[in-house]
Structure formats: C-alpha cells, structure tokens
Amino acid sequence: MKKLFAVLLALAMVLGMAACAGGGDDVTNVSVFWYDESDVYLGSVRAALNAELDKLENVEYDNQFAANNQTTQLDQITTAIANGADILVVNVVTSGAVDIAQQVLDKAGDIPVIFFNRAIGADDSEVSFLKDNENVCFIGTDAPEAGHIQGKMIGEYLVANFDTVDLNGDGKISYAMMKGQEGNVEAEYRTQYGVEDANAVLTEAGKSELVYFDASNTDKYQVDPDGAWSSKAGKEYMDTNLVSYNEANDNMIELVICNNDGMAEGVVAALQEKGYNKEGGHHIPVFGVDATDNAKALIAAGAMTGTVKQDAEGMASAIAGTVNAIIGGSSCTAAPATLKDDRFTIDSTNSNKLYVAYAAYTGE
C-alpha cells in the first residue's frame, strides 16, 4: 500500500510540474520600459497600451519607469531579462543614441525588442542598425513631421491675423520658443522647423520673418533644464520673460511656440496670471504638440491656439499589434508591416520602422 501511495504521489508531482511548465509556456511576458512616469503624452499612450495588452490572450505585462535616468533603465532591462521577459518594449531615456539601443540589444540577445516613441538614431543613422537585426523594430513618428506641421500652422495663423498679433505695430512678430530637451531628436526638429516653416509661409505672403524676443539669447530658445518637457519649466520661463518683456515696455512677446503641450500649458498659465488669454483679454498665440486632453480644453476655451496631434491611441494600437504579431510567429522585423491601418506608414527604406501619423489640431 505504501509503495502504491509513493508511486501515485510521484506521478502527481510529475503531472503537476508538467502542467506548470505548460502554463508558463503559454504565457508571454511583456516588459514595457518608460523613460519617465510624468510625461503627459506618454501617460495617454500607457493607458491606451494597457487596455490593448489586456485584450491579448495569455499575455502578462509590467510597466517600469526610469525617472529620466538611462542607467536605471538599462538595469531594469537586465533584471527583466533575468526574470524571463519574452518581449521588451522600450521607450529609451536617451533619444537618438544608437549606442544605448545597441546596449539594449546586446542584453536582449534573441528576445524581440520594440523601441517606441523616442528615436534610436539621429537622422538616418539607425537605418542600417535596424536592418542588421531581425529581433528589433521601431514604432514612433517621423521626427521632422511635427515641426513642419506646427510651423505651417503657425505661419498660416499669423498671415490671417498679423495685425492683431503685432501688438506694437512694428511689422514684426516677436516670439519665444520653449524646447523640451537638449539632444532629443524630436525636440531638435520641432525647434528648427516650427520657426523655419512659419517663416517660409510669412515671407511668401510678403510678411517679415519671426524675431526672437531676446536678442542676447543666440540659441533662440529656452530649454527645460531637467529635460522633462514640463509645464513647470514653461511657466517659470514665461513668468521671468514677462517681467522685462511686456506691453508697458513696448516689447511684449507676441507668440509662443512650444515643443509640447505640457510646456504650452505652463506658458498659458503664466499669461493668464497677467490677464492674457482669458475671456475679454488679449490673446497671445500659443502653439504646442501632442493634442493632450488638457491642450484640447485650452484650445476650446480660447486660451491656446493650436497643437499637433500625436495619436496616443494609434501608437498604443501599433505596439500591441506588433506584440500580437510576434506572439503569432512573425519576426520583430516583419511584424510592423502586418498592421493594416490608415494611421500608420512604413518607412520606405526600413520595413521594420513604423510611423504613426501627426495632424494639425485647432479644435473639434
């Protein structure tokens, strides 16, 4: 009897271990790494991505935040791999750094890596980098596009409203530029094209080019010192600017261009404290990027002029769709091309590089 019990116990243990192993094999563990938890736009992406991943069968996922520290993120990735992550979804801290992306891939080995939102190379430097590894793809945006769209939108608005915007009547528009982060590919292009493309529209219409409000600032922008693209930085800069540059001194800032809606919100708050951009008060045009819910509300209230929609739901859908395609047997390289949606385009030279389209937004 004892011998039979021992045999049955051993058999039960074997079957139990087999069941556990089978259950583990059926589950795909996805680790998602975010450069920071406070980014407003990425908060929208995260909420949408969580909802999309919840729809996938036998997928478990976790979100990890690097607090804008690249070393922290690399350590998090190492730990996730050691804990059995099957797919890595990475929003790198250091935008445009091919060497950081390579470190991630070196750690990952054969584990598929989906980089998203933040460019992993400047200009075209990541093209060969992507093609050389079938376990990597990129889901984001065509970095220059937001700047081009914003610049065109600003130029067209100014041509239509030039005399109203030109407070001191000098025939020129004085502007401030709020930059989210030094060295970030998206920030660099938005800072460049937000002005260049606006100037192109203005000069074509026979108007003067924009003039930066502070002649002593040769950079012609003010950058968030923490690289956080924050409303706090936008407000603090604008508060300081308005002390010396105002209507009483006949040198008021007449336009504010921001790399994102977070900084634009801070600028609007500073202006409203001085009586601007409120019902019945004079409106200083403020433009951002992202089309966050807060920015849309400010535009609807007339406190903000326009923004560039960066589709949070579209990016989340593209990431989740790529995860699902990989689970279904597609290589990471081929997975983006399996997505069929008007919101997405595939890079003409890189089939594993998917762009989520931008669009101008000035209100519903």
- Over residues 91-108, the mean pLDDT reads 91
CATH architecture label of 144-310 = 3-Layer(aba) Sandwich (3.40)
Query: What confidence tens digit (pLDDT) does each residue in 159-209 have?
Result: 999 999 999 999 999 999 999 999 898 999 999 999 999 999 999 999 999
Distance CA 318, CA 335 (A): 10
Exposure string (b/e) for 136-168, b if CB count within 10 Å is 16 or more?
bbbbbbbbbbbbbbbbbbbbbbbeeebeebbbe
pLDDT of residue 9 exceeding 90: no
- Rounding to the nearest 10 degrees, give the CA dihedral for residues 128, 330, 139, 85: -100
Is there a common fold for 2-141+311-358 and 144-310?
A: yes
Given a contact cutoff of 8 angstroms between Cβ atoms, the answer to whether 85 and 109 are in contact is no
Instruction: Report the run of H or E that residue 136 belongs to, with start and end.
Output: strand 136-140
Alpha carbon distances (Å) from 24 to 19, 82, 112, 173, 321? 9, 15, 18, 62, 22
For the chain, the domains span 2-141+311-358, 144-310
pLDDT of residue 304 exceeding 70: yes
- Over residues 27-52, the mean pLDDT reads 96
pTM, full prediction: 0.82
Written as six digits, the tokens of 31 are 């680790």
pLDDT of residue 316 exceeding 60: yes
Given a contact cutoff of 8 angstroms between Cβ atoms, the answer to whether 333 and 132 are in contact is no
Alpha carbon distances (Å) from 68 to 35, 46, 74, 79, 128? 5, 16, 12, 18, 27
- Over residues 10-34, the mean pLDDT reads 59
pLDDT band at 342 (very low <50, low <70, confident <90, very high): confident
- Over residues 339-346, the mean pLDDT reads 83
Select 2-141+311-358's CATH number: 3.30.1370.60, 3.40.50.300, 3.40.50.2300, 3.30.9.10.
3.40.50.2300
Q: 3-state DSSP call for residue 346?
A: strand
Query: What confidence tens digit (pLDDT) does each residue in 112-166 have?
Result: 999 999 988 765 556 677 777 889 999 998 889 999 999 999 999 999 999 999 9
Tokens 């980014």 belong to 39
Query: What confidence tens digit (pLDDT) does each residue in 225-284 have?
Result: 999 999 999 999 999 999 999 999 999 999 999 999 999 999 999 999 999 999 988 999
Q: Which residues contact 295 (CB under 8 A, 6 or more apart)?
A: 261, 264, 265, 288, 304, 307
